[in-house]
Chains A and B, each alone.
Chain A
Amino acid sequence: MAGDGLVGIVLVSHSAQVAASVAELARGLAGGGGAAVPVAPAGGTEAGELGTSAELIAAAAASVDRGAGVAVLTDLGSAVLTVKALLAEGGELPEGTRLVDAPFVEGAVAAVVTASAGADLDAVEAAAGEAYTYRKV
């Protein structure tokens, strides 16, 4: 991946509050380096209701693109389908944007921590996906 910037992270949730709070949580748990990672929430619809907005997702992805790729994490349903449809369209999301298969909260934390260390998109994706394996009981 070209560019020496950090990987960008987009957090897509049906709820604007969930997306924004998970972004805040992930940055906070990433410690000092977390502040440097470009993270953008894309939650809810443009009208502020529960749902998914292709426009908010595209704007969020553009805002975190530093040339190192963008990892998009989603909650469920239309959030997943909308990102997939935008990726299939081509030209809607920055080059090097990838839908990352990961649990939303744990994956976001892992992605931001990994990105803050300057890791590339493959490593960020792997770390976020690995969060599926952290059993709690």
Chain B
Amino acid sequence: MLDADFFRRWMTATAASVDREAERLTALDSPIGDADHGSNLQRGFTAVAAALEKEPPTTPGAVLVLAGRRLISTVGGASGPLYGTLLRGTGKALGDAAEVSEEEFAQAFRAGVDGVMRLGGAAPGDKTMIDALVPAVDALGDGFGAARAAAEQGALATTPLQARKGRASYLGERSIGHQDPGATSAALLVAGLAEANGE
């Protein structure tokens, strides 16, 4: 069973990896975006970690709803409302249970990813974070390690794609050949699950 502490570890592990990888995320965002993805997410997840430390919520759902709200408020780019909607939607789907099973989490995370697709209008293959998140959701039944591997694969597989959503889509064919920064950061988020689970 996964308790509030697990979800706090997930967020702090993600904050740490986003911090470590911020320069790489921004570098990926330079040729096809506006070169702010790393710094934006760094600001957002730093705020999430601070909020969770200041007043630690006691249920898994409350941890994720708070994290999502902080991301929407602090990121300043499109990744804020998108990741915010993902975490908030997942948290709301978890309800107010003190502990949730991995299967319940997988269902809630799928609801969160569906919410992101509704908000941004992106589908798999559009060269967005969805290309890492959907494979991760599909692999969650085999555990967090499998989800991490699937998300990383999904992020790598965005390189030959032409962007159909977001700022990179203005570049048309010139977006081909670059790994998508959003899918890359989404893989970090999913990797945080395995890390929180001690994998």
Contact = CB atoms under 8 A, between A and B. Distances in A.
Q: A and B: partners?
A: yes
A122 interface: no
Interface string B163-182: 00011000000000000000
B78 interface: yes
A51 B76 contact: yes
Given A54-B73, A55-B73, A89-B69, A78 B85 contact: no
Instruction: In the A-B complex, list the 6 residue pairs whose CB atoms are closest, starting with the nearest.
Output: A51-B76, A85-B81, A78-B78, A81-B81, A45-B76, A54-B73
Interface string B79-105: 111101100100000000000000000
Interface string B109-129: 000000000011000000000
Interface string A105-123: 0000000000000000000
A81 B82 contact: yes
A47 to B, nearest CB: 8
A62 interface: no
A49 B36 CA distance: 11
Contacts of B69: 89
Interface of B: 34, 36, 40, 69, 72-73, 76-82, 84-85, 88, 119-120, 166-167
Nearest to A46: B76
A77 B119 contact: no
Contacts of A81: 78, 80-82, 119-120
Interface in A20-64: 45, 47, 49-55
Contacts of B88: 89
A88 interface: yes
Nearest to A55: B73
A85 B77 contact: no
B85 A85 contact: yes
Contact of B72 (A47, A51, A85): A85
Contacts of B76: 45, 47, 49, 51-53, 78
B23 to A, nearest CB: 18
Nearest to B40: A51
Contacts of A17: none
B97 to A, nearest CB: 21
B77 A84 contact: no
A74 to B, nearest CB: 12
